[in-house]
Amino acid sequence: MNKPKVIVTRHLPCEVEAQLTQLYDVQLNESDVPLSADELKHALQTADAVLTTVTDAITADVLSVPNKRAKIIGQFGVGYNNIDIQAAKAEGITVTNTPHVLTDCTADIAMLLLLMSARRAAEGERLILNKQWTGWTPTQLLGQKVTGKTLGLIGFGRIAQAMAKKAHHGFDMNIIYYTPTSTPEQAVLNDLKATRCSSIDELLAQADFVSLHCPSGATTKHLINEARLKLMRPTAHLINTARGDVVDSNALIKALKEGWIAGAGLDVYESEPNLNPEFLTLNNVALLPHLGSASHETRTAMGNRVLANIDAFFAGHEPCDRVV
Ligand code: DGY
């Protein structure tokens, strides 16, 4: 029997590519250059499965290409805002993602950004890199103590809860959260002594650190806008490891410049990788290049999860992480 044909849009960890090569008639992307819209269309026409990432714009136009062969898109990532899910559903294409396996690594990066922003770590490193550090002084780069402060989580899914656990048990932080959707388990809430806020605005007014954990979409686009940034404390920090478009970057730049908030730690941006160049001129922002899940262990686990999904699909079973 012929092996199903699989097209992989980006270079994946070697172990994952080796496994794919063994199981499927696979076309890898060794150059790692993202595919164009036409190349993505061609992939849908020539493969049984296409393995995508956050950098592939799988729009309604791409999905509506005629004579499609692909029956499944296996997204390498928990977020799938790069895929027009309604269009995929209408085209009868199954979409899967890779939840669970990147929870801790992404929560680690959120904690890293929280600490960097609070303790002015990026600013301190720039001082050294620019050869401007003249030595210790009692008042140099004073940041904010993290231990015992209040962390406000917007969205309270797996990654938010993992961050809350690290913050509460590691840094004795008070946890408050807002979620419009999920009902967290009582045992989790008891363990974290977490308090639910009845609105985002209530949370913003109370938190010393605000960390975003909601998906990208029509209801969350620019959720953090000028009016909401003004509700935050002038000593507060905003952390974003979710998706760039959840924050209005022009409003955030204004807030950081004018001191409405003390700082921000960002891993994701609107229009990645072309972040607003004004961010580069600010001292009170820590910037990372979308590193949330970037550890060897996690990226390999994500690849294995994509494999498990497509293996199940081709074996005629329900993939465990089916989105549509
Ligand atoms: C995710 O899994 O959503 C990461 O941000 C990479 O896409």
Residue nearest to atom 1 of ligand 1 (CA): 77
108 CA distance to ligand 1 middle (Å): 14
Sequence letter at residue 317: H
- Cα separation values, 159 from 47, 200, 297, Å: 33, 18, 17
Mean pLDDT by 10 residues, the chain (324 residues): 95 98 98 98 98 98 98 98 98 98 98 99 98 98 98 98 98 97 92 98 98 96 98 98 98 98 98 97 98 98 98 98 98
In angstroms, the CA 191 to CA 55 distance is 37
271, with CB counted inside 10 A (0-12, 13-18, 19+), is exposed
Mutation probe of ligand 1 site: the residue of 52, 95, 102, 302 with most atoms within 8 A of C-beta: 102
Closest CA to 249 of 229, 276, 267: 276
Ligand 1 atom nearest residue 97's Cα: 2
Q: Which of 10, 213, 228, 243 is catalytic?
A: 243
Q: Which helix (H) or strand (E) holds 178?
A: strand 174-178
- Which pLDDT score, from 0 to 100, does residue 103 have? 98
Q: Are 203 and 228 in contact (CB under 8 A)?
A: no
Is residue 270 flagged as an active site residue? no
Query: Is 92 in the same domain as 107?
Result: no
Dihedral of the alpha carbons of 219, 80, 160, 221, in degrees to the nearest 10: -20
* Longest CA–CA separation in the chain, Å: 73
* 272 catalytic per annotation: yes
State the Cα angle at 47 between 85 and 7, rounded to 5°: 85
Please indicate, yes or no, whether residues 116 and 241 belong to a single structural domain of this protein: yes
Around 244, how many Cα atoms within 13 Å sit in the side-chain half-sphere? 18
Ligand 1 center from residue 293 Cα (angstroms) = 7
Q: How far is the CA of 247 from the centre of ligand 1 (A)?
A: 17
What's the CA gap between 288 and 69, in Å, rounded? 38
Ligand 1 surroundings by CB, under 6 angstroms:
54, 77-79, 102, 292-293
Mutation test residue for ligand 1: of 9, 56, 78, 288, the one with most atoms within 8 Å of CB: 78
Find the 48 Cα to ligand 1 centroid distance in Å. 23
Q: Which two tokens stand for residue 19?
A: 């496994």
For residue 293, the ligand 1 atom closest to its alpha carbon is 4
Same domain as 111, residue 45: no
Range of the domain at 29: 5-100+296-314
Q: Whole-structure pTM over 0.85, yes or no?
A: yes
Which letter, b or e, does each residue of 165-196 get, where b requires 16 or more Cβ atoms within 10 Å of its Cβ? bbbbeebebbbbbbbeeeebeeeebeebebee
- Which pLDDT score, from 0 to 100, does residue 181 have? 86
Written as six digits, the tokens of 231 are: 């509700």
| CA distance linking residue 179 with residue 319, whole number of Å | 27
Minimal-distance CA residue to ligand 1 atom 3:
79
Residue 269 and residue 219 in one domain:
yes
CA-241 nearest atom, ligand 1: 5
> Do 145 and 182 belong to one domain?
yes
Structural domain contains residue 180: yes
SS3 state of residue 52: strand
- Rounded to the nearest angstrom, the distance between the alpha carbon of 258 and the centre of ligand 1 is 31
In angstroms, what is the span from residue 245 Cα to ligand 1's centroid?
Answer: 14
Residue 219 DSSP one-character state: T
Assigned domain for 323 exists: no
Residues whose CB falls within 8 Å of the CB of residue 97, separated by 6 or more in sequence, listed in order: 75, 77, 78, 79, 80, 321, 323
The CATH code of the domain that includes 88 is 3.40.50.720
Residue 321 domain-assigned (yes or no): no
Q: Which amino acid is at 38?
A: D
Structural domain contains residue 319 = no
Residue 142 lies in a domain: yes
**263-266/25-27 β-pairing:** unpaired
Ligand 1: atom nearest CA of 78 is 2
Containing H/E element for 230? helix 226-231
Unique residue bearing structure tokens 């960002």: 266
Count how many residues are written for the chain. 324
Cα(197) to ligand 1 centroid in Å equals 27
The pLDDT score that the predictor gives to residue 101 is 98
15 plus 34 within the same structural domain: yes
State the catalytic residue, choosing from 17, 39, 226, 272. Answer: 272
The pLDDT assigned to 183 comes to 85
pLDDT computed for residue 40 by the predictor = 98
Do 160 and 279 belong to one domain?
Answer: yes
Could you tell which of 293, 299, 306 is best to mutate to test the pocket of ligand 1, judged by most ligand atoms within 8 Å of the CB? 293
Known catalytic membership, residue 11: no
Q: How many structural domains are present in the chain?
A: 2
280's enclosing H/E stretch is none
Strand spans (E) along 10-131: 25-27, 49-52, 72-75, 94-96
DSSP 114-150: HHHHHTTHHHHHHHHHTT------TTTT-----TT-E
